[in-house]
Amino acid sequence: MEPRIDLMQNELGGKLAKRLFAVHQLLQQTGLPHTTQNLVMLRASQINGCGHCIDLHAKEAAAAGETTTRLNLVAGWRHSTVFTEEEQAALAMTEEATRLADASEGVSDETWARAAKYYDENQLIGLVTLIAMINATNRMAVTLNQLGGSYEPGLMSAAVSS
């Protein structure tokens, strides 16, 4: 399998990638913890089977100090002891918002209330936006056949800032 298009080598693709990254930078202002953001992006990418994004977000999280144990347990977060209640609420929201087609009601009132218990309105807006953005990014990467395995931490920041 070969990548279909290299977004960063395409003029329009590079512009779009930079705009997506700008939204990600804006999300840093929501107050949603960076650690939680990394877990959310990794979990959504796992659900969507996006090898490129799994590789990128796992390595970026590790470079930011996330432990191997926690990274290895993200897919099984419900059956582990290493995530805070706040992180579990964000991961539950991530799963329901990512699997909209699988859930007749989308994000349940119970899951929303659980997240609202730990996150203020700005953080909730950040969480919902982050989930939407990573799902869009996963779909682009899978459709364009972007492959995982060779990502080096810091590469994305450097690519979009150039």
Instruction: State the Cα angle at 125 between 27 and 84, rounded to 5°.
Output: 85
Number of H helices, E strands in the chain: 8, 0
Q: Residue 2: is its pLDDT beyond 90?
A: no
Query: Across the chain, what does the average pLDDT equal?
Result: 93
- Percent of the residues in the chain that have a pLDDT greater than 70, as a whole number: 97
Query: Distance between alpha carbon 19 and the CA centroid of its chain, in Å?
Result: 16
Query: What beta strand segments (E) does 28-101 contain?
Result: none
Band of pLDDT at residue 118, cut at 50, 70 and 90? very high
Q: DSSP state, 84? A: -
Band of pLDDT at residue 43, cut at 50, 70 and 90? very high
Q: Residue 159: is its pLDDT beyond 70?
A: no
Residue 51 near residue 147, CB atoms below 8 Å: yes
Q: What is the pLDDT of residue 161?
A: 65
pLDDT in tens, 44-85: 999 999 999 999 999 999 999 999 999 999 999 999 999 999
Q: What is the pLDDT of residue 101?
A: 87
pLDDT in tens, 92-111: 999 999 999 887 688 999 99
Q: Residue 160: is its pLDDT beyond 70?
A: no
Q: What is the pLDDT of residue 9?
A: 86
* pLDDT average, residue stretch 134-153: 93
